[in-house]
Structure 1
Amino acid sequence: MYDKQARGLRIRGKIALGYFLILLMLGLFLIIVSTRITSLEKETVFLSDHDMRVHELTYQIEKSVLDMETGQRGYALTGDVEYLTPYNNGMVKWRIAYAELTDLIADNPAQLQTLNTIEENIEKWIREAGEHVVNLKQLGQNAAVSAYFQKDPGKTIIDFVRTQSEFFRENERTLTMDRIINLKDSNQKLLIMMYILWSLVAVMATLITFIISGMIIKPLGRVIQAIYNIASGGNMSERIVVRTHDEIYELGEATNLLLNTVQQEQWSSEQLNSMALVLQETTDLPLLCRIFVNKLAIMLEMQYGSIYVLDKEDTLKLAYAYAGSKNSTSAAGTPAIAMGEGLVGQCALDKRVLVLEDLPPDFIIHSGLGRTAPRYGIIAPVVFENRTLAVLEIASLTKWAAHHQDLLNQLLKMMGISLNSVITRMEIQKLYSDSQVMNEELQVQSEELQVQSEELQDHTHELMELNNALQHQKAVAESAAADLERYNKQLELSSKYKTEFLANMSHELRTPLNSMLILSQLLAENRSGTLTEEEQNYASVIHSSGSDLLGMINDILDLSKVEAGKMLVELDAVNLTELPSLLQGYFAMTAEQKSLEFTIEIAGGVPDLFFTDEMRLHQILRNILSNAFKFTEKGSVHVTLSKLDQFHSPQYSTDEPVLAFAVKDSGIGISEDKLALIFEAFHQADGTTARKYGGTGLGLSISLQLARLLEGHIDLSSTLGKGSTFTLILPCREKAADAEPAPGGARAEASAALDSGISRSGELFDKHYAQLQGKRVLIVDDDARNIYALNKGLEPYDMDILTAQTGFECLQVIREQPDVDIVLLDIMMPHLDGYDTLSIIREELELQELPIIAISAKTMKEDREKCLAAGATDFIRKPVDLKEVVSGLYRWLSAGHSRTGRKT
């Protein structure tokens, strides 16, 4: 085989070398051309910037002199000082232009001398003509001014300046034309150089291509010819010789190996056909063994062989020995070997081939010339249908090639078939002879059957008794099944009672909690301005504590709903593009207060919409993020949303696409032995953590249960002291499942109102808000504390407030006061609850358009749906938030409803 690590330039290297040389030539070409182009660019820039500027400055100097002359004459003729403005400006401008022009032509002494002459004449004109005339005019010597202009010596100076300026410009034009001619010559030289360099690169590329292609194509031709010989059955004795150490060398070696393999397979096929032919013609077991071993010795060039056949007593007996000696047991083989005895017996037991190398000297092969120790030995079982029939032991002075070993394995299978056929034939012959003896014994057996028949009758009686016992056991089992069913019903009833108890307790706790939260919020706002700052803080603490208590009530109720299997899941489209702003709204203030970095990232490939229960999704994410912020003192909390084609973990596995909501924090982390406790109800990492950070430990437990309801999972990875990563895995449903249509009527109108875009923040809770002033609201609640709290909360909005403590009172007020604008209706009331009250208002009183906001301590999503289906316009959970109440009142009172409950 070719050593892949052998040194030598491979095809890829040769091609790369060719490309490198071409690229090197191109690089040199580019360097030379770019150098020349840079030089030409500098010359062009000099021509455009220098020469054009020189011409421009000479004209500017001449113009400035003309302005001074015009100003001087105008002032001399009119005496108007306005003519001195161009005179003075020209005085300044020509000097500035002269200074810049001097710098530009500093390298040309001739031009510089001409410029100096121009400068001297301008200065002379200023002294003898310009300033002189202006001074005379300013002194009022008009006669002297007139006399001066009759001679006008200044004109001669100006004409000389113009002549010198034109001479200066003509010299510059000549210099410019010389530079242009030089630039054209340089461009022509550059073009010729590019043609020459391109021709050199083309010649080099052609030469490199010819050399490399020749190094590849010639060996490939030899390989193709060899493969053609294999396919057509031609001469396979020739071998390919490749002198280069590259992939072509490997291809040549592989082709040579293929030739060797084909020759070996052809030889093996011939040997197998030859062996099959002689074995098929043999029906005697000793002869079969002798022919097989002798033929094997010729094929594999072995110096010793013996075969042991397994008899009925599971003993391996020597059937034939090749090149054995009668006077030496070691050379002739052991006459009989038990199963598991020695290597031969163990080989028969294990049914696997044993290869022996570097044999010790006591393995002796005899010949007429002497004796010697073999170097290589094989002990192989002859197996048919997973049953050992014989064991072959062979030895050789040289080690076999691999294809010899493969040939031996195929010959052993062939021998197994032949040996089984011979043994079966011998057994059939023996059975035939034995059948004669069995016929004689049949008579005796017939008599014995008569006796056995009598015994069977006794067994039948015993079986009947056993059947009766089984019937009794069946009855006992049916009784146990009935008991188990009763136990299951009791368990379901207990779970139902537990759920109802928790729901009722939730309602009973929320009712006083409702008034406590509203009143504590009013006290904290200090609308009357009578409370001190400390008293306001007391109220804020009461409100905060009540809110915490509300959170615990919600957690316990959610947990009981999940455990009882009563929590419903509604699949709807969720807009994932809104998730970052939503989560920022929830937790940005918390992150700012704790000086934590809070980022949300949506990876590529995540769909804009997917279908799940949006409320449960938000609840899970809020619980996980609340947990992350609670246990993170410094660092960051990072949310990443990505799409995975599949997800596999010990707890959850799917080959379908999923969405992964990963919340990673740099908090305290969780030790490995506490990971299993995190998702258990009322548990945290340890007792000290619970005392330090607070909480019931229900959030994560509920989140896991909700994730399972959504057919997902929450994965956790954490390192103590380095932070944790909670990953919510949900199925990526990008198409809507079949869903029931939403109820119409009031619920549809409520949804339309919610979508109307009315804001819930800013100017909304101003006590002077015009839409609420003078509106009549009916508050219905069986708890006077809640009525009192809502009454006090709505006082600043100047509303007309009516109250009722039962459903009957509510109906009476509506009948007596038909101008009620809106109703706040408690659902859980004795005698006539809110659902029945809603039905009477809508159906009997026919007030379909009267806005009715249902208020309930039952906070499950199905409770809200039940209220809307019964006729409620909107739904608010207890304990109510005063801002949410005012928001609802504003939303429905500003939606076009009249006092009669009819739309205007």
Structure 2
Amino acid sequence: MLNKQARSLNIRGKIALGYIVILVMLGLFLIIVSNRITDLEKETVYLSDHDIKIHELTYQIEKNVLDMETGQRGYALTGNNTYLEPFNDGLSEWDVNYSKLKPLIADNPEQVQNLDNIKADIEKWVTVAGQYVVNLKKNGRDAEVAAFFQDDSGKIIIDSIRTQSDYFRDKERALTSERIKSLKNGNHKLINTMYILWALVALLAYLITHLLSSSIVRPLQQVIQAINSIAAGGNMSERIKVRTLDEVYDLGEATNGLLDKVQQDQWSAEQLAKMSLILQETTDLSVMCQIFMNKLSKIFEIQYSAIYVLNHEEEVYKRMYAYAGSSDKDASFGADRIQPGEGLVGQSALDKSVKFIENLPEDYISINSGLGRTAPRFAVIAPVIFENKTLAVLEIASLTKWAPYHLKLLEELLKTMSVSLNSVITRSEIQSLYHDSQVMNEELQVQSEELQVQSEELQVQAEELQNHTNELLVLNRELEIQKSVAENAAVELDRYNKQLELSSRYKSEFLANMSHELRTPLNSMLILSQLLIENRSNTLSEEELGYVSVIHSSGSDLLAMINDILDFSKVEAGKMQVEMDAVNLTELPALLTGYFDKTAAKRSLEFSVQVEEDVPDLFFTDEMRMHQILRNLLSNAFKFTEHGFVQVKISCAENPFAVQDYQQERMLAFAVIDSGIGISEANRELVFEAFRQADGTTARKYGGTGLGLSISLQLARLLGGHITLQSEEGKGSTFTLYLPYLQEETDIPLIPLGALSPVAAASEQASALNEKIMFEKEHRKLHGRTVLIVDDDSRNIFALQNGLAPYDMNILTAQTGFECLQIVREQPEVDIVLLDIMMPNLDGYDTLSIIREELLLTELPIIAVSAKTMKEDREKCLAAGATDFMSKPVILQDVVTRMCRLIRPAEG
């Protein structure tokens, strides 16, 4: 390393070299200015040409007037229409020439006024003389024509036009001469001035070089030494001290300010990360409020605070927790329940705005301790807002006023709290609603059973009455009464059955609506989190990518929970349909390996798929439902296995359920074996019940809704099969799926074995190359094409816009059906439309009908996008005119693939 003296001389040399470069640049600048002077002389010539153009247009306008006058006179004398040609040509051309001339003189108000006077005279002549005489002649009023030429008032106007045109041209000639003379004088002065300036700058640069090299180096070394000291020690609390009051002092102060800002930002980021992590781990509302307020008190040194949470049933904000306050509902800590708009807390909830209060009075509230009490000086009232709805309001009192970065951190913490609070409230509401639905179903079922018992008792009584025919006359009236009672009971039973059916339908509609409401925000969240994971701009750190990955994973888990609940609802309602088709079992090992290889590697488990030799290559079943069952069983196995292996064995087996109504003697057995925690004998039957796991602790430790195995069992029964369980606690479990071995004839061609395992055969390098080639093909097809995104949720529009940005498409957006129709009418270049179905006022179905039937755009590709996933929803969209259908949340790659398939090739 160079010593300090050598480094100082090096800096001085660089500064001197910089000023020498300045001198060279000034010399070059002088040459450039000289060349510019020559260019200015050329511009003078241009000005002359400009004026010549003005003269030409002036003469041309005057010629047009003369042509109109000649044509008028010729037609008035002869009545021959050929004389009208110069009149009509002049009538159309003079206005064109006027339009060309006026912009050329727009910078000269006097000439503009002269030109406007000429225009006014021309228009006057056309009105009172030219067109007037022509019209008289056309109407055969020759006497009036002759009388007009006796006076000939038009000649006076023509003479005025000539005079004004001459005056106009004289003015332009004078202006041209003045411009040329002024430009030449300016050029000579500019050259002399530049030479003088060059000499002065050269002298000044020398003096500056000498002075700066002496005055900057020494203070700058002090600043560098201070910065190196801070950098070497890593102590963010040390600051630079500069004694000189110059730019180096400003540098030191700026560096100190930067250190303050970095230290503050680092502290804020740490507090925000800790708060987010704590809130994510909390599922109880009251506990969450307590943890949040206690954490805030430590971050901001708060002495008094309270949080009021919205009660949706009563539409009132109830105090959920008070920090450093009394737990009793006394007047010393304010109101326990606050209506929207009531007081500052209620008004803050209504306005959705933060309120700052300074210089609080002594009797506002007292901050108490064991030794004494005092009044706060500063208060903040802040709402917790999620999707433009105030979920809670915080009131904070402090002895000291916060710094600006404290308020910014509070805003970020409130956003984090709003997401967590909404998640807890939503989860609680869903559980409550589902519990109510289950209770109602159980009550209706009990009532139905009671009525059934009553009906059976009445039937027995009727049989006994029939056996006592000898007492028929005596008991006839009693029998009629019993019959009436039985009929009423039957009616009551039918009414309760209808109530049960109505309850089931309400539950299905509730689950479908909840699916729509949850899938809509999930759509934008999953797309945007996927885009952030891709880190296209390389602006996210590894830690931030980890946060985004957690968000995407959580959203995917929530989507899986929604799908499980919907499948369970379909099974319960008897609406789950199966589609039998040929399934090639040689493909199954590669598919299962592709699904779970990464999971096995992540959990350090051995994973394998074995197919026995006697297993056929082809059999008939619903392939999608079979895959769903196997994925559920494997997911369950991986979730409850921490060490060891997970294995799949596929074999042929005798039907173990021959005593039941299964007609197939041979079955295909798909055994999923794991070395996990196992299941006790007492809990084996519980695992197949909805919303149940082996015990409550597994649900908390391993997560899940408890629907997977219940749905799998129902699906297996729909396919004509069954699921068995063999397990021993602490030694693993074996779930076996039995499916009928169906061998119906089919015309479906068999696919060669080698073509069925791309997942197992492709290496990571080939996969990456294929993805790159696929992107290039898709980019080539979508580049420059126009897509219209229609969605009433701006978050989904924002997500799709960012997701399609790399394909360089022209992206149009609309938030209502009416905006969509307007864009489609006005911009025929739209190549494809992504249309949301559930929109207010004009929904997607009506929009589709108008586009197809009224606008007659039958060939325009339209992909319907809906959060409703029932089969009838897809069929309804296709019937309304949609080209394709996608359910929310959409997968971006799936959107791109379908767009490439539907967009027609560009013409030409």
Q: What is the TM-score with the length of structure 2 in the denominator? A: 0.44
- Bigger Rg, structure 1 or 2: 1
Q: What is the TM-score with the length of structure 1 in the denominator? A: 0.44
